[in-house]
Amino acid sequence: MTSRTCLSIILAAGEGTRMKSALPKVLHRIAGLPLICHVANAVRGAGEGDVALVVGRGAEEVRAAVEKVSPNVSSHEQKERLGTAHAVLAAREAIARGYDDLLIVFGDTPLIEEAALIEARSKLAEGFDIVVMGFRPADPSGYGRLIEKEGRLVAIREEKDANAEEKRINFCNGGLMALRGDHALALLDAVRNDNAKGEFYLTDTIEIAHKQGRKVTAIEVPVDNVIGINTRVELAEAEAIWQDRKRRAVMLSGVTMIAPETVFFSHDTLVEADAVIEPNVFFGPGVHVASGAVIHSFCHLEGAHVGPNAEIGPFARLRPGADLAEKSKVGNFCEIKNATVAKGAKVNHLTYIGDAFVGAGANIGAGTITCNYDGHNKWRTEIGEGTFIGSNTSLVAPVSVGANAYIASGSVITENVPDSALAFGRARQVTKEGRATVLRERYAAIKAAKKAEK
Protein backbone atom coordinates (compact mmCIF):
# COMPACT_ATOMS: atom_id res chain seq x y z
CA MET A 1 0.00 0.00 0.00
CA THR A 2 2.84 2.42 0.72
CA SER A 3 3.89 2.27 -2.94
CA ARG A 4 0.44 3.44 -4.12
CA THR A 5 -0.37 7.15 -4.14
CA CYS A 6 -3.67 8.24 -2.68
CA LEU A 7 -5.95 11.27 -2.71
CA SER A 8 -8.62 11.38 -0.02
CA ILE A 9 -11.56 13.58 -0.96
CA ILE A 10 -13.46 14.70 2.13
CA LEU A 11 -16.89 16.08 1.30
CA ALA A 12 -17.72 18.86 3.77
CA ALA A 13 -19.84 21.39 1.89
CA GLY A 14 -23.19 20.54 3.46
CA GLU A 15 -25.12 23.33 5.16
CA GLY A 16 -25.82 21.30 8.31
CA THR A 17 -29.06 23.18 8.96
CA ARG A 18 -30.43 20.49 11.27
CA MET A 19 -27.61 21.15 13.73
CA LYS A 20 -29.16 24.60 14.27
CA SER A 21 -25.73 26.10 14.81
CA ALA A 22 -23.62 29.04 13.65
CA LEU A 23 -20.67 26.63 13.63
CA PRO A 24 -20.14 24.55 10.47
CA LYS A 25 -21.43 21.05 11.15
CA VAL A 26 -18.11 19.29 10.58
CA LEU A 27 -16.45 21.46 13.24
CA HIS A 28 -18.67 20.18 16.03
CA ARG A 29 -16.63 17.96 18.31
CA ILE A 30 -16.45 14.39 19.51
CA ALA A 31 -13.94 13.72 22.29
CA GLY A 32 -12.73 17.29 21.91
CA LEU A 33 -11.82 16.93 18.22
CA PRO A 34 -13.83 18.29 15.25
CA LEU A 35 -15.77 15.66 13.34
CA ILE A 36 -13.81 16.27 10.16
CA CYS A 37 -10.51 15.82 11.98
CA HIS A 38 -11.57 12.33 13.06
CA VAL A 39 -12.13 11.59 9.37
CA ALA A 40 -8.78 13.13 8.40
CA ASN A 41 -7.00 11.02 11.02
CA ALA A 42 -8.64 7.87 9.64
CA VAL A 43 -7.59 8.56 6.04
CA ARG A 44 -4.06 9.40 7.20
CA GLY A 45 -3.97 6.09 9.06
CA ALA A 46 -4.97 4.32 5.85
CA GLY A 47 -1.78 5.51 4.17
CA GLU A 48 0.03 8.79 3.76
CA GLY A 49 -1.33 10.85 0.90
CA ASP A 50 -2.97 14.12 -0.03
CA VAL A 51 -6.31 15.44 1.19
CA ALA A 52 -8.76 17.44 -0.90
CA LEU A 53 -11.47 19.21 1.09
CA VAL A 54 -14.70 20.03 -0.71
CA VAL A 55 -16.03 22.91 1.33
CA GLY A 56 -18.87 25.41 1.50
CA ARG A 57 -19.81 27.49 4.52
CA GLY A 58 -16.93 28.17 6.88
CA ALA A 59 -14.35 27.02 4.33
CA GLU A 60 -11.37 28.72 5.96
CA GLU A 61 -12.27 27.46 9.42
CA VAL A 62 -12.68 23.91 8.13
CA ARG A 63 -9.38 23.94 6.29
CA ALA A 64 -7.55 25.39 9.31
CA ALA A 65 -8.93 22.61 11.51
CA VAL A 66 -7.87 19.83 9.14
CA GLU A 67 -4.40 21.30 8.61
CA LYS A 68 -3.71 20.83 12.33
CA VAL A 69 -3.93 17.06 11.98
CA SER A 70 -3.10 16.37 8.34
CA PRO A 71 -0.42 17.66 5.97
CA ASN A 72 -0.87 18.24 2.22
CA VAL A 73 -4.37 19.67 2.32
CA SER A 74 -6.05 21.54 -0.54
CA SER A 75 -9.54 23.03 -0.43
CA HIS A 76 -12.10 23.24 -3.23
CA GLU A 77 -15.34 25.16 -3.03
CA GLN A 78 -18.61 23.60 -4.12
CA LYS A 79 -20.58 26.69 -5.10
CA GLU A 80 -23.79 24.83 -5.97
CA ARG A 81 -25.30 21.76 -4.32
CA LEU A 82 -25.95 19.50 -7.30
CA GLY A 83 -25.35 16.06 -5.84
CA THR A 84 -22.51 13.91 -4.56
CA ALA A 85 -20.79 13.35 -7.92
CA HIS A 86 -20.88 17.10 -8.50
CA ALA A 87 -19.33 17.59 -5.06
CA VAL A 88 -16.47 15.20 -5.84
CA LEU A 89 -15.82 16.96 -9.14
CA ALA A 90 -15.32 20.21 -7.26
CA ALA A 91 -11.90 18.67 -6.53
CA ARG A 92 -11.26 18.03 -10.25
CA GLU A 93 -7.96 19.92 -10.16
CA ALA A 94 -6.64 17.64 -7.41
CA ILE A 95 -7.97 14.45 -9.04
CA ALA A 96 -6.32 15.39 -12.32
CA ARG A 97 -2.86 15.34 -10.73
CA GLY A 98 -3.01 11.57 -11.05
CA TYR A 99 -3.22 9.16 -8.11
CA ASP A 100 -3.40 5.40 -7.90
CA ASP A 101 -6.25 5.49 -5.39
CA LEU A 102 -9.09 7.88 -4.59
CA LEU A 103 -10.91 7.63 -1.27
CA ILE A 104 -14.24 9.47 -1.09
CA VAL A 105 -15.41 10.05 2.46
CA PHE A 106 -17.70 12.45 4.31
CA GLY A 107 -16.68 15.05 6.84
CA ASP A 108 -19.63 14.17 9.08
CA THR A 109 -18.88 10.43 9.45
CA PRO A 110 -16.36 10.64 12.31
CA LEU A 111 -16.51 6.98 13.32
CA ILE A 112 -15.00 5.59 10.12
CA GLU A 113 -12.00 3.43 11.04
CA GLU A 114 -8.76 3.24 9.15
CA ALA A 115 -9.10 -0.55 8.86
CA ALA A 116 -12.15 -0.11 6.58
CA LEU A 117 -10.28 2.37 4.39
CA ILE A 118 -7.23 0.11 4.21
CA GLU A 119 -9.43 -2.80 3.08
CA ALA A 120 -10.98 -0.63 0.37
CA ARG A 121 -7.57 0.43 -0.91
CA SER A 122 -6.39 -3.19 -0.82
CA LYS A 123 -9.26 -4.13 -3.15
CA LEU A 124 -8.13 -1.44 -5.57
CA ALA A 125 -4.62 -2.89 -5.42
CA GLU A 126 -6.10 -6.28 -6.33
CA GLY A 127 -7.48 -4.83 -9.54
CA PHE A 128 -10.97 -3.56 -8.75
CA ASP A 129 -11.97 -0.22 -10.26
CA ILE A 130 -14.55 0.81 -7.66
CA VAL A 131 -15.01 -0.37 -4.08
CA VAL A 132 -18.19 0.58 -2.21
CA MET A 133 -18.34 0.37 1.57
CA GLY A 134 -21.58 -1.30 2.62
CA PHE A 135 -23.14 -2.22 5.95
CA ARG A 136 -25.92 -4.42 7.29
CA PRO A 137 -28.29 -2.47 9.56
CA ALA A 138 -30.87 -4.17 11.75
CA ASP A 139 -33.55 -2.45 9.65
CA PRO A 140 -32.53 -1.63 6.06
CA SER A 141 -35.61 0.53 5.43
CA GLY A 142 -34.72 3.84 3.82
CA TYR A 143 -31.24 2.82 2.67
CA GLY A 144 -29.99 2.21 -0.85
CA ARG A 145 -29.48 -1.53 -1.47
CA LEU A 146 -26.31 -3.01 -2.95
CA ILE A 147 -27.24 -5.25 -5.87
CA GLU A 148 -24.67 -7.99 -6.44
CA LYS A 149 -24.34 -10.67 -9.11
CA GLU A 150 -21.71 -13.39 -9.14
CA GLY A 151 -19.60 -11.61 -6.54
CA ARG A 152 -19.68 -8.28 -8.35
CA LEU A 153 -21.58 -5.12 -7.43
CA VAL A 154 -23.75 -4.15 -10.40
CA ALA A 155 -25.94 -1.35 -9.00
CA ILE A 156 -27.03 0.65 -6.00
CA ARG A 157 -30.81 0.79 -5.87
CA GLU A 158 -32.56 3.46 -3.82
CA GLU A 159 -35.45 2.03 -1.83
CA LYS A 160 -38.09 4.01 -3.72
CA ASP A 161 -36.86 2.40 -6.93
CA ALA A 162 -36.36 -1.12 -5.57
CA ASN A 163 -38.68 -4.02 -6.34
CA ALA A 164 -39.95 -6.39 -3.67
CA GLU A 165 -37.04 -8.80 -4.05
CA GLU A 166 -34.45 -6.01 -3.88
CA LYS A 167 -36.06 -4.57 -0.75
CA ARG A 168 -35.35 -7.86 1.02
CA ILE A 169 -31.60 -7.21 0.61
CA ASN A 170 -30.08 -6.01 3.89
CA PHE A 171 -26.67 -5.09 2.44
CA CYS A 172 -26.88 -1.29 2.22
CA ASN A 173 -24.88 1.58 0.78
CA GLY A 174 -22.70 3.36 3.33
CA GLY A 175 -21.87 6.17 0.91
CA LEU A 176 -18.09 5.88 1.22
CA MET A 177 -16.22 4.72 -1.84
CA ALA A 178 -12.78 4.07 -3.33
CA LEU A 179 -11.93 4.47 -7.03
CA ARG A 180 -8.94 3.75 -9.21
CA GLY A 181 -7.41 7.10 -9.98
CA ASP A 182 -6.83 6.49 -13.69
CA HIS A 183 -10.55 5.87 -14.32
CA ALA A 184 -12.06 8.28 -11.80
CA LEU A 185 -12.55 11.41 -13.89
CA ALA A 186 -13.99 9.52 -16.86
CA LEU A 187 -16.53 7.78 -14.62
CA LEU A 188 -17.49 10.96 -12.79
CA ASP A 189 -17.88 12.92 -16.02
CA ALA A 190 -20.17 10.21 -17.38
CA VAL A 191 -22.72 10.75 -14.60
CA ARG A 192 -25.90 12.48 -15.77
CA ASN A 193 -28.59 14.34 -13.86
CA ASP A 194 -31.64 12.88 -15.60
CA ASN A 195 -33.48 12.16 -12.36
CA ALA A 196 -36.31 13.73 -10.36
CA LYS A 197 -34.00 16.07 -8.46
CA GLY A 198 -31.78 16.96 -11.41
CA GLU A 199 -28.67 16.06 -9.41
CA PHE A 200 -25.46 14.17 -10.20
CA TYR A 201 -25.25 11.07 -7.99
CA LEU A 202 -21.98 9.38 -7.14
CA THR A 203 -23.81 6.05 -6.91
CA ASP A 204 -24.49 6.18 -10.65
CA THR A 205 -20.82 5.44 -11.28
CA ILE A 206 -21.51 1.83 -10.30
CA GLU A 207 -23.82 1.07 -13.20
CA ILE A 208 -21.67 3.10 -15.57
CA ALA A 209 -18.59 1.10 -14.59
CA HIS A 210 -20.50 -2.19 -14.84
CA LYS A 211 -21.66 -1.38 -18.37
CA GLN A 212 -18.07 -0.55 -19.31
CA GLY A 213 -16.97 -3.97 -18.08
CA ARG A 214 -15.03 -2.60 -15.15
CA LYS A 215 -14.63 -4.53 -11.90
CA VAL A 216 -16.79 -3.23 -9.05
CA THR A 217 -17.13 -4.76 -5.61
CA ALA A 218 -18.50 -4.00 -2.16
CA ILE A 219 -16.93 -4.61 1.24
CA GLU A 220 -18.80 -4.83 4.51
CA VAL A 221 -17.87 -2.42 7.29
CA PRO A 222 -19.34 -2.17 10.82
CA VAL A 223 -22.57 -0.20 11.00
CA ASP A 224 -21.09 2.48 13.26
CA ASN A 225 -18.38 3.26 10.69
CA VAL A 226 -20.87 4.94 8.36
CA ILE A 227 -22.98 6.84 10.88
CA GLY A 228 -23.48 10.40 9.68
CA ILE A 229 -24.08 13.33 12.01
CA ASN A 230 -26.97 15.64 11.20
CA THR A 231 -28.41 16.64 14.59
CA ARG A 232 -27.20 17.23 18.14
CA VAL A 233 -28.89 13.97 19.12
CA GLU A 234 -26.80 12.05 16.58
CA LEU A 235 -23.72 13.93 17.78
CA ALA A 236 -24.30 12.67 21.33
CA GLU A 237 -24.95 9.14 20.08
CA ALA A 238 -21.68 9.16 18.12
CA GLU A 239 -19.84 10.48 21.18
CA ALA A 240 -21.14 7.52 23.17
CA ILE A 241 -19.91 5.05 20.54
CA TRP A 242 -16.49 6.72 20.39
CA GLN A 243 -16.16 6.66 24.18
CA ASP A 244 -17.09 2.97 24.32
CA ARG A 245 -14.40 2.18 21.74
CA LYS A 246 -11.81 4.17 23.68
CA ARG A 247 -12.71 2.64 27.05
CA ARG A 248 -12.38 -0.85 25.64
CA ALA A 249 -9.03 -0.06 24.02
CA VAL A 250 -7.71 1.48 27.24
CA MET A 251 -8.72 -1.52 29.35
CA LEU A 252 -7.30 -3.99 26.84
CA SER A 253 -4.01 -2.09 27.02
CA GLY A 254 -3.72 -2.97 30.73
CA VAL A 255 -5.53 -0.15 32.55
CA THR A 256 -7.99 -0.89 35.36
CA MET A 257 -11.30 0.99 35.18
CA ILE A 258 -13.78 0.25 37.93
CA ALA A 259 -16.82 1.79 36.22
CA PRO A 260 -15.69 2.47 32.65
CA GLU A 261 -19.08 3.80 31.54
CA THR A 262 -18.57 6.82 33.85
CA VAL A 263 -15.13 7.78 32.51
CA PHE A 264 -14.80 10.15 29.55
CA PHE A 265 -11.67 10.46 27.41
CA SER A 266 -10.34 13.03 24.98
CA HIS A 267 -9.23 12.05 21.49
CA ASP A 268 -5.56 12.22 22.59
CA THR A 269 -5.69 10.81 26.13
CA LEU A 270 -2.76 8.50 26.87
CA VAL A 271 -3.00 6.14 29.84
CA GLU A 272 -0.22 3.62 30.42
CA ALA A 273 -0.65 0.04 31.62
CA ASP A 274 -1.25 -0.61 35.34
CA ALA A 275 -2.82 2.79 35.92
CA VAL A 276 -6.13 2.73 37.81
CA ILE A 277 -9.06 5.02 37.00
CA GLU A 278 -11.91 5.17 39.47
CA PRO A 279 -15.51 6.19 38.56
CA ASN A 280 -16.57 9.60 37.27
CA VAL A 281 -13.32 10.94 35.84
CA PHE A 282 -13.14 13.37 32.90
CA PHE A 283 -10.10 13.76 30.65
CA GLY A 284 -9.79 16.91 28.58
CA PRO A 285 -7.20 17.28 25.80
CA GLY A 286 -3.51 16.73 26.39
CA VAL A 287 -3.42 14.29 29.33
CA HIS A 288 -0.77 11.63 29.89
CA VAL A 289 -1.14 9.23 32.82
CA ALA A 290 1.90 7.08 33.52
CA SER A 291 2.03 3.47 34.70
CA GLY A 292 0.89 2.76 38.25
CA ALA A 293 -0.83 6.10 38.75
CA VAL A 294 -4.21 6.16 40.48
CA ILE A 295 -6.91 8.63 39.50
CA HIS A 296 -9.56 8.62 42.20
CA SER A 297 -13.22 9.44 41.62
CA PHE A 298 -14.60 12.79 40.43
CA CYS A 299 -11.40 14.24 39.00
CA HIS A 300 -11.07 16.57 36.00
CA LEU A 301 -7.78 16.59 34.08
CA GLU A 302 -6.71 18.71 31.12
CA GLY A 303 -3.27 19.39 29.66
CA ALA A 304 -1.63 17.51 32.51
CA HIS A 305 1.04 14.88 33.05
CA VAL A 306 0.64 12.39 35.89
CA GLY A 307 3.85 10.54 36.71
CA PRO A 308 4.41 6.89 37.64
CA ASN A 309 2.63 5.78 40.82
CA ALA A 310 1.28 9.25 41.49
CA GLU A 311 -2.10 9.62 43.17
CA ILE A 312 -4.80 12.11 42.24
CA GLY A 313 -8.04 12.98 44.02
CA PRO A 314 -10.77 12.32 44.74
CA PHE A 315 -12.34 15.60 43.59
CA ALA A 316 -9.10 17.06 42.19
CA ARG A 317 -8.65 19.31 39.19
CA LEU A 318 -5.48 19.33 37.10
CA ARG A 319 -5.37 22.25 34.66
CA PRO A 320 -3.01 22.82 31.72
CA GLY A 321 0.64 22.73 32.67
CA ALA A 322 0.17 20.53 35.73
CA ASP A 323 3.14 18.15 35.90
CA LEU A 324 3.12 15.58 38.68
CA ALA A 325 6.25 13.54 39.20
CA GLU A 326 6.67 9.98 40.41
CA LYS A 327 4.87 9.10 43.66
CA SER A 328 3.56 12.63 44.13
CA LYS A 329 0.08 13.16 45.51
CA VAL A 330 -2.67 15.69 44.87
CA GLY A 331 -5.60 15.01 47.14
CA ASN A 332 -9.24 15.96 47.49
CA PHE A 333 -10.53 19.37 46.46
CA CYS A 334 -7.16 20.55 45.14
CA GLU A 335 -6.40 22.46 41.94
CA ILE A 336 -3.03 22.47 40.18
CA LYS A 337 -2.32 24.82 37.25
CA ASN A 338 0.94 25.38 35.36
CA ALA A 339 2.91 23.87 38.21
CA THR A 340 5.35 21.05 38.85
CA VAL A 341 4.90 18.80 41.86
CA ALA A 342 8.20 16.93 42.25
CA LYS A 343 8.81 13.34 43.31
CA GLY A 344 7.06 12.33 46.49
CA ALA A 345 5.62 15.78 47.22
CA LYS A 346 2.13 15.95 48.73
CA VAL A 347 -0.64 18.46 48.12
CA ASN A 348 -3.26 16.75 50.18
CA HIS A 349 -6.46 18.76 50.40
CA LEU A 350 -8.30 22.04 49.85
CA THR A 351 -5.33 23.69 48.14
CA TYR A 352 -4.57 25.76 45.04
CA ILE A 353 -1.09 25.58 43.49
CA GLY A 354 -0.67 27.74 40.39
CA ASP A 355 2.43 28.94 38.51
CA ALA A 356 4.66 27.14 40.96
CA PHE A 357 7.29 24.52 41.65
CA VAL A 358 6.90 22.19 44.62
CA GLY A 359 10.12 20.40 45.49
CA ALA A 360 10.61 16.69 46.12
CA GLY A 361 9.17 15.44 49.39
CA ALA A 362 7.55 18.75 50.28
CA ASN A 363 4.28 18.72 52.22
CA ILE A 364 1.64 21.33 51.45
CA GLY A 365 -0.94 21.74 54.23
CA ALA A 366 -4.69 22.08 53.84
CA GLY A 367 -5.98 25.43 52.62
CA THR A 368 -2.66 26.59 51.17
CA ILE A 369 -2.85 28.90 48.18
CA THR A 370 -0.26 30.41 45.89
CA CYS A 371 -1.37 33.99 45.26
CA ASN A 372 -0.08 34.08 41.70
CA TYR A 373 -2.15 36.86 40.11
CA ASP A 374 -1.98 40.55 41.03
CA GLY A 375 -4.78 41.64 38.74
CA HIS A 376 -2.43 42.27 35.82
CA ASN A 377 0.36 39.67 35.80
CA LYS A 378 1.01 36.08 36.86
CA TRP A 379 3.93 35.45 39.22
CA ARG A 380 5.76 32.30 40.23
CA THR A 381 6.21 30.55 43.58
CA GLU A 382 9.18 28.26 44.30
CA ILE A 383 8.96 25.76 47.16
CA GLY A 384 12.11 23.80 47.99
CA GLU A 385 12.44 20.07 48.60
CA GLY A 386 11.51 18.74 52.00
CA THR A 387 9.70 21.95 52.96
CA PHE A 388 6.63 21.91 55.20
CA ILE A 389 3.90 24.46 54.48
CA GLY A 390 1.44 24.72 57.37
CA SER A 391 -2.31 24.73 56.84
CA ASN A 392 -4.09 27.88 55.69
CA THR A 393 -0.93 29.53 54.34
CA SER A 394 -0.97 32.16 51.59
CA LEU A 395 2.20 32.40 49.51
CA VAL A 396 2.16 35.80 47.80
CA ALA A 397 4.11 35.48 44.56
CA PRO A 398 6.74 36.15 43.46
CA VAL A 399 8.18 34.34 46.44
CA SER A 400 10.65 31.55 47.17
CA VAL A 401 10.66 29.15 50.10
CA GLY A 402 13.96 27.31 50.52
CA ALA A 403 14.62 23.62 51.00
CA ASN A 404 13.62 22.05 54.33
CA ALA A 405 12.02 25.29 55.52
CA TYR A 406 9.00 25.33 57.81
CA ILE A 407 6.06 27.72 57.40
CA ALA A 408 3.80 28.14 60.40
CA SER A 409 0.08 27.54 59.89
CA GLY A 410 -2.04 30.56 59.06
CA SER A 411 0.88 32.55 57.64
CA VAL A 412 0.87 35.07 54.82
CA ILE A 413 4.33 34.83 53.27
CA THR A 414 5.40 37.88 51.25
CA GLU A 415 9.20 37.58 51.49
CA ASN A 416 11.63 34.84 50.49
CA VAL A 417 12.36 32.21 53.13
CA PRO A 418 15.91 30.74 53.30
CA ASP A 419 16.73 27.04 53.47
CA SER A 420 15.88 25.37 56.79
CA ALA A 421 14.31 28.56 58.18
CA LEU A 422 11.09 28.82 60.21
CA ALA A 423 8.76 31.59 59.01
CA PHE A 424 5.72 33.15 60.70
CA GLY A 425 3.57 35.59 58.80
CA ARG A 426 0.60 36.21 61.06
CA ALA A 427 -0.57 38.76 63.66
CA ARG A 428 -0.01 38.09 67.35
CA GLN A 429 -3.08 36.70 69.14
CA VAL A 430 -4.81 39.03 71.61
CA THR A 431 -7.26 37.63 74.23
CA LYS A 432 -9.84 39.82 76.03
CA GLU A 433 -11.25 38.11 79.14
CA GLY A 434 -15.06 38.32 79.45
CA ARG A 435 -15.59 40.29 76.24
CA ALA A 436 -17.57 37.47 74.62
CA THR A 437 -20.44 38.01 77.10
CA VAL A 438 -20.43 41.76 76.47
CA LEU A 439 -20.59 41.23 72.72
CA ARG A 440 -23.49 38.78 72.95
CA GLU A 441 -25.50 41.22 75.08
CA ARG A 442 -24.80 44.08 72.69
CA TYR A 443 -25.79 42.06 69.59
CA ALA A 444 -28.95 40.81 71.32
CA ALA A 445 -30.00 44.38 72.12
CA ILE A 446 -29.47 45.46 68.50
CA LYS A 447 -31.54 42.54 67.26
CA ALA A 448 -34.37 43.35 69.69
CA ALA A 449 -34.41 47.00 68.63
CA LYS A 450 -34.70 46.05 64.94
CA LYS A 451 -37.55 43.67 65.73
CA ALA A 452 -39.38 46.38 67.66
CA GLU A 453 -39.12 48.76 64.72
CA LYS A 454 -41.01 46.32 62.54
Q: Where in the sequence numbering do the catalytic residues fall?
A: 349
**Per-residue three-class SS string for the chain:** CCCCCEEEEEEECCCCHHHCCCCCHHHCEECCEEHHHHHHHHHHHCCCCEEEEEEECEHHHHHHHHHCCCCCEEEEECCCCCCHHHHHHCCHHHHCCCCCEEEEEECCCCCCCHHHHHHHHHHHHHCCCEEEEEECCCCCCCCCEEEEECCEEEEEECHHHCCHHHHCCCCEEEEEEEEEHHHHHHHHHCCCCCCCCCCCCCCHHHHHHHHCCCCEEEEECCHHHHCCCCCHHHHHHHHHHHHHHHHHHHHHCCCEECCHHHCECCCCCEECCCCEECCCCEECCCCEECCCCEECCCCEECCCEECCCCEECCCCEECCCCEECCCCEEEECCEEEEEEECCCCEEEECCEEEEEEECCCCEECCCCEEECECCCCECCEEECCCCEECCCCEEECCEEECCCCEECCCCEECCCECCCCEECCCCCCCCCCCHHHHHHHHHHHHHHHHHHHC
